[in-house]
Amino acid sequence: MGWLTGFAGTSKPAKLAVQHEQARFNIREPNLRAQAGGPAETCFGGKLPGGGAFFVTGVGIRDDRILQEQDWAALLTQTETDLADLDGHFVVLRWQPGKVELLTDSTGTRTVHLLEHADGVYFSTRLDWLAQYAGPLEIDYARFGAQWLLANSLDTTSLVKQAIRLGPGGCAVVEHGRLKVSLRPWSCTTTQLDHSGEGYKHALQKTLQVSGPKPWSLGLSGGLDSRALLALGKYRNTHVWGPPDHPDVQISTDLARTAEVEHKYLQIRLPHITRCVDLLRERVALTQVITPASATIERIAYGKLHKTGLGILDGGFGEIARRQLMNQVVFRRALNLGKAQTTLPRILAGKADFFAPDVDKTMTGGAEDELNACWQRLPASMTTADKADLLSVQSRLPNFFGHEQNYLDNVCVSYMPYAQPSVLRALFQVPLRLRWHGRLLRKLVRQHAFALAHQPLVKGTVQYPFGLGTVSSLAYTRVKKKMGLAYSDPRPRDFINHLREFLLDTLHSTSVRDCDAYDQAKLQLMADSFASGDTSYIGLLDWWLAFETWRSMLRRDNS
Write the pLDDT tens digit of every residue in 248-260: 999 999 999 999 9
Give me the percent of the chain exceeding a pLDDT of 70: 93
Alpha carbons 120 and 9: distance in angstroms, whole number: 4
Write the pLDDT tens digit of every residue in 426-450: 999 999 889 888 899 999 999 999 9
The pLDDT of residue 338 is: 56
The pLDDT of residue 11 is: 63
Write the pLDDT tens digit of every residue in 109-133: 999 999 998 888 999 999 999 998 8
The pLDDT of residue 377 is: 83
The pLDDT of residue 12 is: 62
Let me know: does 530 contact 504? Beta carbons within 8 Å.
yes
The pLDDT of residue 325 is: 62
The pLDDT of residue 1 is: 55
Which residue intervals of 233-380 are DSSP H helices?
Answer: 247-259, 273-287, 297-307, 324-331, 340-343, 357-377
Question: Would the pLDDT of 340 be above 80?
Answer: no
Which pLDDT band holds residue 102 (cuts at 50, 70, 90)? very high
Q: How would DSSP label each residue in 133-160? A: HH----B-HHHHHHHHHSSS-SS---SB
Give me the chain's average pLDDT, please: 89
Let me know: does 134 contact 115? Beta carbons within 8 Å.
yes
For the residues 317-332, what does the mean pLDDT come to? 71
Question: Would the pLDDT of 267 be above 60?
Answer: yes
Which pLDDT band holds residue 399 (cuts at 50, 70, 90)? very high
For the residues 293-312, what does the mean pLDDT come to? 88
The pLDDT of residue 336 is: 57
In the chain, where are the structural domains located?
A: 3-182, 198-322+392-479, 491-554
Let me know: does 418 contact 318? Beta carbons within 8 Å.
yes
The pLDDT of residue 527 is: 96
Question: Would the pLDDT of 326 be above 70?
Answer: no
Give me the percent of the chain exceeding a pLDDT of 90: 65
Question: Would the pLDDT of 327 be above 70?
Answer: no
For the residues 280-307, what does the mean pLDDT come to? 91
The pLDDT of residue 134 is: 83
Which pLDDT band holds residue 193 (cuts at 50, 70, 90)? confident
Q: Tell me phi and psi for residue 360, to 5 degrees.
A: -60, -40
Residues 6+ apart with CB under 8 A from 355: 363, 517, 518, 519
Question: Would the pLDDT of 334 be above 70?
Answer: no
Alpha carbons 308 and 448: distance in angstroms, whole number: 29
Fold classification of 3-182 is Glutamine Phosphoribosylpyrophosphate, subunit 1, domain 1 (3.60.20)
The pLDDT of residue 14 is: 57
Which pLDDT band holds residue 220 (cuts at 50, 70, 90)? very high
The pLDDT of residue 362 is: 97
For the residues 87-102, what does the mean pLDDT come to? 94
Alpha carbons 373 and 148: distance in angstroms, whole number: 17
Q: Which CATH code of 3.20.20.70, 3.40.50.150, 3.40.50.620, 3.30.70.20 fits the domain covering 198-322+392-479? A: 3.40.50.620
Alpha carbons 33 and 267: distance in angstroms, whole number: 42
Which of 188-192, 203-207, 375-379 tops mean pLDDT? 203-207
Q: Which residue has the higher pLDDT, 440 or 11?
A: 440
The pLDDT of residue 78 is: 83
CA 168 to each of CA 110, 129, 187, 354: distance values in angstroms, whole numbers, following the listed order:
8, 21, 10, 32
The single-letter DSSP state of residue 397 is I
The single-letter DSSP state of residue 452 is G
Which residue type, as a one-letter code, is found at position 190?
T
Let me know: does 446 contact 466? Beta carbons within 8 Å.
no
Query: 237-241 and 216-219: which strand pairing?
Result: parallel
Alpha carbons 454 and 227: distance in angstroms, whole number: 12
Alpha carbons 236 and 114: distance in angstroms, whole number: 42
Question: Would the pLDDT of 337 be above 60?
Answer: no
Tell me the β-bridge partners of 175. Answer: 99, 178
The pLDDT of residue 187 is: 85
Write the pLDDT tens digit of every residue in 476-525: 888 888 888 889 999 999 999 999 999 999 999 999 999 999 999 999 99
CA 169 to each of CA 34, 361, 422: distance values in angstroms, whole numbers, following the listed order:
22, 33, 15
Question: Would the pLDDT of 540 be above 90?
Answer: yes
The single-letter DSSP state of residue 291 is S
